[in-house]
């Protein structure tokens, strides 16, 4: 479940950075069209990988329930951090993507 949480948070942050407003707020410039598409694709790929991680660890029945819980938790965390601590939200996304291979290794 930790791996799914890390991947979901990274995916939601990538989708958040694909928006002009959030990208400019966090990184100081507007994204190019190519970067925006790359962020959208990366975000959706990370969310799909999080679904795979949740389902592969506990099966379809419980895995989908855990995945939806992880989706809500990671989205809530991002929504609460963006207005008050946007740099922390970005740092947590980077850390989550760096730690996810360790979590994947520990899961299997």
Burial class from Cβ neighbours inside 10 Å (0-12, 13-18, 19+) for residue 15 reads: buried
For residue range 83-95, list pLDDT tens digits in order: 999 999 999 999 9
pTM: 0.92
For residue range 6-45, list pLDDT tens digits in order: 999 999 999 999 999 989 888 888 989 999 999 999 999 9
4 pLDDT tier (thresholds 50, 70, 90): very high
């Amino acid at each position: 479940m930790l791996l799914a949480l890390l991947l979901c948070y990274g995916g939601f942050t990538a989708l958040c950075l694909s928006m002009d407003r959030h990208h400019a707020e966090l990184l100081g410039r507007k994204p190019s069209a190519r970067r925006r598409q790359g962020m959208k694709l990366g975000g959706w790929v990370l969310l799909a990988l999080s679904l795979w991680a949740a389902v592969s660890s506990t099966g379809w029945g419980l895995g989908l329930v855990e995945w939806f819980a992880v989706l809500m938790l990671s989205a809530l965390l991002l929504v609460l951090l963006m207005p008050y601590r946007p740099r922390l939200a970005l740092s947590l996304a980077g850390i989550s993507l760096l730690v996810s291979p360790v979590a994947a290794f520990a899961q299997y």
